[in-house]
Amino acid sequence: MDIFVGLASVLSDPVLLGWVFLAAIVGMIVGAIPGLTASAAIAMLLPLTFYMEPLPALAFLYVIGKSGRYGGSIAAILFNTPGTAASAATQLDGYPLAQRGMAGKAMKVATISSVIGDFVGEILLILGVAWIASIALRLGPPELFAVYFAAFIVIGSVIGKSVTRGLASAALGILVAMIGLDPISSTERFTFGSFDLTNGISLVPLMIGIFVLGEVFTQIESRGAKTEMVANDQGDAARNRLSWAEYKPCLPHVIRSSFIGAFIGMLPGLGSAIAAFVAYGEGKRRAKNPEAWGSGALEGIAAPEAANNAVSGPSMAPLLTLGIPGSTIGAILIGVFLIHGIQIGPTMFLTSRDLVFALFACGLIGIVMYGVIGYFGAAFVGRFITRIPTHVLYPIIFLTSFVAAYTSRGNLFDVYVMVAAGFAGWAMRKLHFNPAAFVISFVLAGGAEETFRQTMLMSDNGMMIFVTRPIALVFLLIGIAAMAARVRSVNRQARALAAGTSG
């Protein structure tokens, strides 16, 4: 019922609709530019939203995230370069179709599948989030710490190319979050006598540095490279028309992949890329024509696109119910909630229920908007992007990151933090560390420490309290099991690689 009230209030506000529309376009363009991600755009635009009302600010960034995930498919299909990691699976079948002059058809399949996946994810979020929040309200500090612990381990070990470096990224994020005054005893930690550091490291410049400036440093390595769009002249309107008979076999894949994406989205830190590849693998395994996958099967576009967009809504569930961001976009949105004085966590459904459901309504409207724009205008967006010279785009992003970092608190120290984070972000990418794990752990560390210390005060048996509380124990075991599974899979890969090299 709340969602209908939310929809009515959003639809009656033309200014808010304008922000959602703008976000749908901005997200699509940013997602389609190879190298730029929706996270980078959101981090850069975050300080601007401090001057907006809470709902337009949140809706603007939330819809950029959704539209950006979809926008990645434009680059994957038209440029043979995934605009985001999540659309790399789409490229496998999308680009071969584009080469055969059917880019328009591939884009239409990607658009419809993304819209269905996103809708499924958003509706599951709307139906389930209040229920999860009511359960979260009953969790005590030991259980909450166990959830944080599982999140650190999953985020650090499951994504990225190296388990040790992923976990090290999470540990570094925790250490950087400790800089400043201890919130309980006001003891100085890691300040080295610097007054500026006593306030701690601010989230906004850190994120702008890692996601925006870090990407600018990375892009220097590919300067001069031109974005080439697949030649479209051999395509004609008839070949690019999508009929119901052609899309019908995609539907089972879309529905299955939407649920896969929604489930993966609820788990902190896994994100769209993993959802897309899991859905692609599962789709190919169940397909009637697995041999066609990888050479231009429409189902091979539908499955990963539905999954990577279905992640979007459910990834908000841990953020809104526990205050634990499930994705980098969630981590960035925390900044908006905090700056507008909105307490995230289960009590949010008591204090800001209208705002939450209005945000979900904006999400639903945003899906429709990017769906319509994408269905009719994806090729135009592709052509527009090929006209943006990267040797002008990235210097502009470079300059914008400085003013955005300053704007967040009007403090030049934050700009130094942003520069340091930018260089660190580049180094992390270069050395296969995990910038997302670093940032999410930075965000989680404060809450994790608070719940851990509360647990220790509650406990008569020290750490044994985690063993005596079943829910806490389950989450601790989930974390350890996820890490063990990942270590096993990496070792298996290493052995296979060694066998391949020696043989």
Partner 1 sequence: MSSEAAPASRGVGVALILIGIGAFATSMNIGLDQYGRWGARLFPLGGSIALLGLGIAEIWGARPTPQSNKQHLPAILALLALSLGYVWAISAFGYLISTAFAAPVALYIFGLRNPLGLGAAAVLCPAIYHGTFFVALGVFPPLGKWFDLLDVIGGY
Please spell the DSSP secondary structure of 268-326, one letter per residue: TTTHHHHHHHHHHHHHHHH-S-GGGTTSS-HHHHHHHHHHHHHTTTGGGHHHHHHS--S
- DSSP characters for 51-100? TS-HHHHHHHHHHHHHHHHHHHHHHHHHTSS-SSGGGHHHHHHHHHHHHT
The reply to whether 343 sits near partner 1 by the rule CB under 8 A is: no
Instruction: Pick the stretch among 15-23, 287-295, 373-381, 408-416 that binds partner 1 (CB under 8 A).
Output: 408-416
Could you say which of 2, 13, 188, 196 contacts partner 1 (CB under 8 A)? 188
Instruction: In whole angstroms, give the CA distance from residue 219 to residue 223.
Output: 6
User: Is residue 168 near partner 1 by the rule CB under 8 A?
Assistant: yes
Which residue number, 127 or 412, has a Cβ lying nearer to partner 1?
412
Give dist(CA 306, CA 315) in Å, integer.
15
Q: In the set 357, 370, 394, 442, which binds partner 1 (CB under 8 A)?
A: 394
Chosen residue from 206, 266, 445, 478 binding partner 1 by CB under 8 A: 445
Q: How far apart are CA 201 and CA 195, in angstroms?
A: 12
Report the Cα–Cα distance between both ends of the chain, in Å, rounded. Answer: 63
d(CA 34, CA 74): 10
Determine if 403 is a binding residue for partner 1 (CB under 8 A).
Answer: yes
Is 495 a binding residue for partner 1 by CB under 8 A? The answer is no
Rounded to whole angstroms, how far apart are CA atoms 317 and 218?
Answer: 32
Give the Cα separation of 339 and 408 in Å (integer): 10
Single out the residue of 161, 241, 286, 383 in contact with partner 1 (rule: CB under 8 A): 161
Q: How far is CA 46 from CA 155, 284, 338, 376, 399, in A?
A: 23, 39, 12, 29, 15
Q: Work out whether 415 is an interface residue with partner 1 (CB under 8 A).
A: yes
User: Smallest distance from the beta carbon of 426 to partner 1, in angstroms?
Assistant: 7
Q: Which of 453, 459, 473, 480 binds partner 1 (CB under 8 A)?
A: 453
CA distance 39 to 72: 12
**Inter-residue contact 255 to 466 (CB < 8 Å):** no
- Smallest distance from partner 1 to CB 162, Å: 4
Q: Is 196 a residue that touches partner 1 (CB under 8 A)? A: no
Q: State the chain's maximal CA–CA distance in angstroms.
A: 75
Is 268 within 8 Å of 325 (Cβ atoms)? Answer: yes
Among positions 4, 8, 11, 48, the unique one binding partner 1 when judged by CB under 8 A: 48
For partner 1, the closer of residues 172 and 336 by Cβ is 172
Give me the least distance between CB of 373 and partner 1, in Å please: 25
Which residue in 108, 37, 95, 103 sits closest to 67, CA to CA? Answer: 37
If the CB atoms of residues 162 and 232 are measured against partner 1, the closer one turns out to be 162
**Minimum separation from the CB atom of position 168 to partner 1 (A):** 5
Token pair in block for residue 147: 């959830």
In the shown chain, the binding pattern of residues 260 to 279 toward partner 1, with x for contact by CB under 8 A and - for none, equals -------------xx-xx--
**Position among 241, 286, 383, 432 found at the interface with partner 1 (CB under 8 A):** 432
Identified binder of partner 1 from the candidate list 33, 44, 167, 203, rule CB under 8 A = 167
Per CB under 8 A, the list member of 1, 138, 185, 460 interacting with partner 1 is 185
412 scored as a contact of partner 1 (CB under 8 A): yes
> Judged by CB under 8 A, does residue 395 bind partner 1?
yes
For partner 1 (CB under 8 A), the number of binding residues is: 67
Phi, psi of 291 (to 5 degrees): -65, -25
Q: Does 485 bind partner 1 (CB under 8 A)?
A: no
363 binds partner 1 (CB under 8 A): no
Q: In whole angstroms, how close is the CB of 332 to partner 1 at the nearest point?
A: 19
Pair 70, 372: CB distance under 8 Å? no
Q: How far apart are CA 166 and CA 147, in angstroms?
A: 18
Q: Which residues bind partner 1 (CB under 8 A)?
A: 48, 51, 85-86, 88, 161-162, 164-165, 167-168, 171-172, 174-175, 178, 182, 184-185, 187-190, 213, 216-217, 220-221, 223-224, 273-274, 276-277, 390-392, 394-396, 398-400, 402-403, 406-407, 410, 412, 415-416, 419, 422-423, 426, 430-432, 445, 448-449, 452-453, 490, 493-494, 497
